Every structure is written in structure tokens, then in C-alpha cells.
Amino acid sequence: MSESPSGLQVPSDIQDEYSEVLRDYIVRPNEQALRRAYEIGRRTLTSGAGVLGIAALHHEALKDVMPSLSAQIEEGLLIKRAEEVFVESLMPFEMSHRAFGDAIAVLRRMNERIEEEAKRIAHALHEEAGGLLSATHLALEELARDLSPEGTERLTLVRRLLDQMDEQLRQLAHEIRPTVLDDLGLLPALDFLASGVSSRSGVAITVEGSTEGRLPSAVETTLYRNVQEALNNVIRHAKANKVAVVVTREAHAVRCSVCDDGVGFDVSAVIAARSERGLGHVGMRERLDSHRGTLLVTSTPGHGAELLMYIPLEG
């Protein structure tokens, strides 16, 4: 094991057992040996040693048994049998790998369902409740014709309140599901988001870059939601003056960064803590996971923070 790179080491009792199994099977192919190889793979997987650990295990075992067996077993047959044992020990990793792919597909479908539901609610708020408000305005206008000047003035107060309600509905519908994201794409939606957050908070937010055409809808949603979360974090905690959002399209991926000049934070402490902000990062990572994307958070207390998201695009 001395030649194995660090981190790939498998406990020596497993190494010994694997060598024994390999020798046994090469001399006399039998199902019990294959079963043992499978169980060794399973234990190695559970121990967290990884697929390279199994490769190292196999390599060491081959070095161990080859010299004594190559005299009695023809080389082609020896290699074939060794491979059969190796495949058995890899099978638990194959299962785990495939099951992981299935889990990602489930996560993606779940995200899509949530967004569909958000779309439905946003639509109901915007179109249906908004429509009722418009009808109320019209009815009030008619009513105003029959009122005294004093009554008209009091009615104006009511209409101002209705306008405020309209504005809040609009805002809420937008936050739940921005129609501009569906209609115009990521950059216009981010522009809209940035100007809203900027006018509420007074922090200067710039949005730059290009997606070079539309991205898959689910990817647009993920990036939008994560930038939204990131901007919320900056406004709440960073005491920043400026934030820059940059979107870059690469050959087979899209990259999006959010940089601020605020007070920064201790990245590992925030991510480890089950604080609201820590959970925010968990949410971002989960959304990215469903696209096999990555999240990189860099910050030094006192020197701002950078959040970098990277999503590979298929095809």
C-alpha cells in the first residue's frame, strides 16, 4: 500500500482479503469468490474510500498474486478472471453512481413542479386579483359621479389604498414568479430584479454579460433564484455600496457571479451554521445540484464577497 497516493488507502485487512479472493478465483473460478469480491466493494464504498480505493486495492492484489500464479495459469485466462473479480468489486460503486443519477432526476422534477406551482400562483395574483381590482376601480369611478365633492374626496382616499394594494400584488406576483423571466429571459429579469432591490435598498447594483440566446428554462430559473437570494443576503448582512452581477456564456456552460464590496464573512462558519444565511447557501446549492452545477463562495472578513455559480449545459 505504500505506493498508493494518500486518501486512497483501504484498511489492510480488506487488502489481504481481496488478495485472497483474487487468488482463489483465478485458480478456481467460483461464485463464492465473486460474492466476496462484491462484499469487499460494498464495504469499501461504505468506508468512503471511493472507486480509486478499489482500483488501488486491485492493483496491489494483482502485484501480490501474479508472480506465483503466472507459472500455472495461462496469461489471457488469468487477466480475464482477474477482471471478473474486479468488476464484482466495482458493482456497488456502479449501483451507487446510477442511483445518484436517479436522485438528481427526482430533484430536478421536484424543482420544476415547484416552479410550475409558483407560476400558477403568480398568474392568479397578477391576472385574477389584478382584474378584480381594475373592476373595483371602474365601479368606484361610476359611484364618484353621484357623489358630492366631499364624498369624491373621501373616495379618492379609498382609491389610493387600492392603488397601493395593486402595487403590492404586482410586487408579490413578481417575486413569486417574474413573468419577465419567461417572456424575455435571464438578463432582462436580472436587470428588473436589480433595479427593484437597488431602489429599495440604495445599494448600486449592476448587471452585465450575456447568455447568447435563451438558456433552458430550468437553468434560467435556478440562476435567477440564486441571484435573488444572493442579493437578499448582501442587502441584509454585507453593508455594501456596490454589487456586480456578471453572466458569462461559455461553450458548454454558463457562469454567473455576484460580487459585493461589503464587510465580508467567514465562509466556513456561515455555511456550517444552520443560520438563515447558511440555509440560504444550502438552498442555492440544492438548486444547482439538480443541474450538476457548482457553487463557489469566496470571502474574507473586511474585503467583500464573491459568489460564483457554474452550470454545465447539455448538448
Residues in contact with another protein by the rule CB under 8 A: 28-32, 34-35, 38, 42, 45-46, 77, 80-81, 84, 87-88, 91-92, 94-96, 98-103, 106
How many angstroms separate the CA atoms of 69 and 63, rounded?
11
Shorter beta-carbon distance to another protein: residue 55 or 313: 55
Least distance from C-beta 41 to another protein, angstroms?
A: 9
Q: Report whether 253 contacts 311 (CB < 8 A).
A: yes
Shorter beta-carbon distance to another protein: residue 94 or 208: 94
Say how many Å lie between the first and final Cα of the chain, rounded: 41
Cell of 197: 432591490
Shorter beta-carbon distance to another protein: residue 76 or 202: 76
Shorter beta-carbon distance to another protein: residue 101 or 213: 101
Least distance from C-beta 285 to another protein, angstroms?
A: 16
DSSP string over 147-206: S-HHHHHHHHHHHHHHHHHHHHHHHHHHHH--HHHHHH-HHHHHHHHHHHHHHHH--EEE
3-state SS, residue 136: helix
Shorter beta-carbon distance to another protein: residue 94 or 276: 94
Shorter beta-carbon distance to another protein: residue 94 or 127: 94
Q: Report whether 81 contacts 26 (CB < 8 A).
A: yes
Least distance from C-beta 84 to another protein, angstroms?
A: 7
Stretch (H or E) spanning 309: strand 305-312
DSSP string over 65-114: HHHHHTTTS-HHHHHHHHHHHHHHHHHHHHHHHHHHHHHHHHHHHHHHHH
Within 10 angstroms of residue 164's Cβ, the number of other Cβ atoms is: 10
Grid look-up 452581477 returns 245
Cell of 287: 438548486
Shorter beta-carbon distance to another protein: residue 85 or 258: 85
Shorter beta-carbon distance to another protein: residue 44 or 299: 44
Least distance from C-beta 107 to another protein, angstroms?
A: 10
Question: Strand 294-299 vs strand 305-312: parallel, antiparallel, or unpaired?
Answer: antiparallel
Shorter beta-carbon distance to another protein: residue 32 or 206: 32
Grid look-up 486518501 returns 7
Q: Is 66 exposed, middle or buried (0-12, 13-18, 19+ CB in 10 A)?
A: middle
Task: Please list the residues that pair with 248 across neighbouring strands.
Answer: 255
Q: Report whether 90 contacts 141 (CB < 8 A).
A: no
